[in-house]
Chains A and B, each alone.
Chain A
């Protein structure tokens, strides 16, 4: 997993809970990297799980909620860090449709070692977008947070329904997004 996901996470923790929280949770975790993340480095994605689990213990917020919130937060950070991806799409649906075939494609060029999920999208009606997440990593909640972030960013009122379809080889979540 790319370092940017870790540095942004720790930055968020510091912003929301203070410096000490960062030290506390890193102290709790046995990390191969010792928590010395750089944006351009690549780290074991299990370290991410360890960190959010520790944070959950200290903050008494569920892991799921933390990850969703982080996804939401990260979306707005991406908007600051990489504004070029936001030039084309005019709505949340359009943006989400561009993730797999455009944004992540460019990300992959930038970071050839990035492990990116796959998204299939199709519009069931003008108000409904089906988005299917599949990945080797268990980050469906993270995706959900990013989707929520997208909706909020475009100020689209979108109801999100989820259904997990994990298999032995892959994690899978079907998002049904309906404009209200």
Chain B
């Protein structure tokens, strides 16, 4: 854009070239984190990737050698394709719902005055203190055939409905678990806004809704972006929720990996699925990040 400016305008602020030398302090300070990351994340990841290229002998259960058959099997088998598609569909839906619920929630929270703000922030964060497994069991009791929801439906004359083991239930439960991860980054970026900017929009006669859409929302987009990435990533690799609420038939990628490892004992196959999930997740998230953030980098800095 700056290229089209007339000559009278000074050049756009260019990046300064840093002095090239090897500062020791940053290396030293980041060493513990790098070591921890290498030992606990990269090593298992590397081993998993290696494992995924091993052959597997069903008769003996032995692994070894080199093959691409697991990857070929995943890519060509419609069973796996369906599971991957379902996983990303459910994650995308959960992310979208988290945006729709979480962003207004964060906005309202940021407009509250103090005793209430602290109380509601606590309410939003409290679920994080309860194990996901416990919450998944809670949902399954709530939605089970004899649970209170079905009880109410019967009492209303609508009749019993099959709520558990459906995609909808998994999405709802995921949203419940992931919501704080959306609210917190959005709330953080709302904290950074100058309230006068929204007031300026109002002073020009904008309605509250217009002010939010045209002025507030674009400024908190980075927060929404990071919230979405966290929610999508966690949802796509979620295990406890689909495992407990999706049942045996409604599988997601993480539950398939689990099955391969522990039921079929086909570790290389499980590893291959896991590696593909990681790769797909990375590609989707990076694309999304580029699309949205590239658009706003120059404006918001």
State whether these chains interact. no
